[in-house]
A and B are shown apart, each in its own frame.
Chain A
Amino acid sequence: MNYTIAQAERLTGIKAHTLRIWERRYDFLVPERTETNIRYFSDAQLRKLINVSILLKNNYRISSIAGMSEDLIHSKVGEFLSLEDTENEEVIKALILSMLIMDEAEFNRIFNRLVLRSGLMHTITDVIYPFLGQVGVLWGTNKVLPAQEHFISNLIRQKIISAMESLPQPGENAGKIVFFLMEQETHEIGLLLGAYLAKDLGWKVYYLGQNVPSDDIAMTVELLEPDLLMTMFVAARNYKNDEILCRLIESRNIPLLYSGNLAYLPCKTASDCHVPVRNPAEFIAFLQEFRENTTQIQL
């Protein structure tokens, strides 16, 4: 597989401009050219670039890296990544490397080490979330690597779902939150992240998953009487479904949290019932505040 300079920039964090300069100055990384003279990098070159970016982070100069053998670069990177205080940014790069070659065992090693070091919640909010954003998997936008995207989304889905299982069951009086994706929406990684966070905060989570017809959402809301609803939008909107959803939340006064591609708002008019959530921190903050407010009401 080949990568354009823009894709390389996105995956390594090294500016395209810098890559062009290196190409002129050093001969360790000369991209190939298409017939129309557009640069591209091979798999091996991209992997090397990621390793180089990790060394740069650790105060190596590009001039000295340029003289290193592949093996030396590789072993130095290995040393840095096994250090206790590796920064998240570097861990993310290591995850990207394991993703590129679809090395599930390596991915698991890194993930498990992270969980031991900072716990699941922080692994997910501080590493996995930015990682997914960087590789464009989170909202299915800027598809960098189609085959790898399938691989990594499924693997992370598995991680989050297993992680959820290990969380304690919520108490009887816990708040209820329903997670769902609307029809045509199949991109559930973000939704799962939300479900994990909510359960970790002690909420009773009802996870309906992908592609739920709006009539069924209405019915579920009637049956369960949840305190909150949460969904994600990635695909273009179907306005008929939106209307059903809007009428539903407005008549019942249940806040709908939504995230994803924020260009696609669920309703034309915003109201108190619609709460856009831009990142995990906002989501967590909202859930905590919501609970405090409702407890006050009960008192």
Chain B
Amino acid sequence: MSIKTTFSIRDLEHLSGIKAHTIRIWERRYHLFEPIRSDTNIRSYDQKNLQKLLNVVFLLDKGYKISKIAELSENDLYKITRELQINSDQPSQAMDNFKLSMLGFDRVLFDQTYFQLLEKNSFRDVFLKTFFPLLEEIGMLWLSKTITPAHEHFITNLIRQKLLIQTEKAQQLPKLHEQTFALFLPLNEIHELGLMFLHYELLVKGYNSIYLGQSVPMENLKDLQDIFDSITFVSYFTVEPALEFIPEYLKEFSDSILSPANEELHLLGRNAQEFSQDNSFPNILIHKNIENFLNTLN
């Protein structure tokens, strides 16, 4: 396969968190890598180099000295890393594997890593402690042009897929509460993984949860009030509405949807945080994070 597997030293820096300067020193001192040089003498690295570097970083975090690590054969390096990973609850290796799977569009590696992680962790932990940070980091990698949006699309779709499969299972669980939630994103907002995760959690807790998803115009929400006697709205503002329009949006929401029926809106997400200080609507509750919201349910 001709998947692009060469990386510049900058790419390595972005992917591993080790400064290019340091990588060069390790090369000189310990012969850790032997990058290929271009005609103009510029280093380039392959996927094996990247994997090795990620393993090195893992051992450094575990307290190994770089001089010791450098003495290990490739095989030992791999073996020791694996052993430590299995015995630790640190999902950091999983993070690295997910990154590698993304770079190589490698579905199989993604699945292997995921199922391994799921053996020891609940799906909730996998999502909150690995997928969420992973996505954040990917956002940064994308900004630094180490990866392309196609990479991001690929990995985001895989994560979404895992989440939906868990949701599908959660839908078979019995309903324990009367309360019905309606989950939606405001118009033009498409960042839905956070909201999808809330849907999953609500189902697990035995609530009736109606998932409406991306970009729902406000007037559509009124139709729900014809169908359900009482409904609690949940939304997740990442980039929409733009900060300056949030007060306006919430006022309209409160006036036209919440107040007449005396219902509540729970808000999460980055853009919602910005407004949490100034929130004066009694029916609108802004939560710091997902856990915070879930805690209010019990």
Chain A residues at the B interface, C-beta cutoff of 8 Å = 1, 43, 101-102, 104-105, 108, 145-148, 150-151, 153-155, 157-159, 161-162, 164-165, 169, 180, 186, 206-213, 216-217, 219-220, 222-225
Closest-CB distance, A4 to chain B (whole angstroms): 15
Q: Is the CB of B217 within 8 A of A1?
A: no
Within 8 Å CB of A225, what residues of B?
1-2
User: CA of A15 to CA of B210 in the docked complex: distance in angstroms?
Assistant: 32
Selected from B150, B220, B223, the residue in CB contact (under 8 A) with A216 is B150
Pick the most buried of A147, A219, A222: most chain B CB atoms within 10 A of its CB: A147
User: CA of A145 to CA of B148 in the docked complex: distance in angstroms?
Assistant: 37
User: CA of A153 to CA of B211 in the docked complex: distance in angstroms?
Assistant: 10
Given contacts A158-B164, A161-B161, A161-B165, contact A186 B148 (CB under 8 A): no
Q: Is the CB of B165 within 8 A of A162?
A: yes
Given contacts A161-B161, A162-B165, A165-B161, contact A146 B150 (CB under 8 A): no
Taking CB as reference atom, which chain B residue is nearest A166?
Answer: B165
Q: Is the CB of B157 within 8 A of A216?
A: no
Given contacts A161-B164, A208-B157, contact A219 B148 (CB under 8 A): yes
List CB contacts (< 8 Å) of B73-120 with chain A.
105, 107-108
Selected from A148, A159, A222, the residue in CB contact (under 8 A) with B168 is A159
Selected from B210, B211, B215, the residue in CB contact (under 8 A) with A186 is B215
Closest-CB distance, A177 to chain B (whole angstroms): 13
Q: Is the CB of A157 within 8 A of B164?
A: yes
Q: Is the CB of B168 within 8 A of A223?
A: no
Interface residue? B233 (CB, 8 A): no
User: CA of A186 to CA of B214 in the docked complex: distance in angstroms?
Assistant: 9
Given contacts A102-B227, A147-B220, A209-B157, contact A158 B167 (CB under 8 A): yes
Please count how many residues in chain B sit with their CB below 8 Å of the partner chain's CB atoms. Answer: 42
Within 8 Å CB of B213, what residues of A?
150, 153-154
Q: Is the CB of B164 within 8 A of A151?
A: no
Closest-CB distance, A160 to chain B (whole angstroms): 9
Q: Is the CB of A154 within 8 A of B153?
A: no
Taking CB as reference atom, which chain B residue is nearest A212?
Answer: B153
Selected from A43, A147, A224, the residue in CB contact (under 8 A) with B221 is A147
Chain B residues at the A interface, C-beta cutoff of 8 Å = 1-4, 105, 107-108, 148-150, 153-154, 156-157, 160-161, 164-165, 167-168, 171-172, 175, 184, 190, 208, 210-217, 219-221, 223-224, 226-228
A-B contact count (CB 8 A): 101
Q: Is the CB of B168 within 8 A of A162?
A: yes
Selected from B156, B168, B214, the residue in CB contact (under 8 A) with A158 is B168
Pick the most buried of B164, B167, B175: most chain A CB atoms within 10 A of its CB: B164
Q: List 8 A-B contacts (CB under 8 A).
A: A105-B175, A108-B172, A146-B217, A157-B164, A208-B150, A210-B190, A223-B3, A224-B3
Given contacts A150-B220, A151-B212, A186-B215, contact A213 B227 (CB under 8 A): no
Closest-CB distance, A86 to chain B (whole angstroms): 23
Taking CB as reference atom, which chain B residue is nearest A205?
Answer: B107
Selected from A104, A159, A162, A213, the residue in CB contact (under 8 A) with B149 is A213
Selected from A43, A153, A161, the residue in CB contact (under 8 A) with B226 is A43
Within 8 Å CB of A108, what residues of B?
171-172
User: CA of A148 to CA of B224 in the docked complex: distance in angstroms?
Assistant: 9
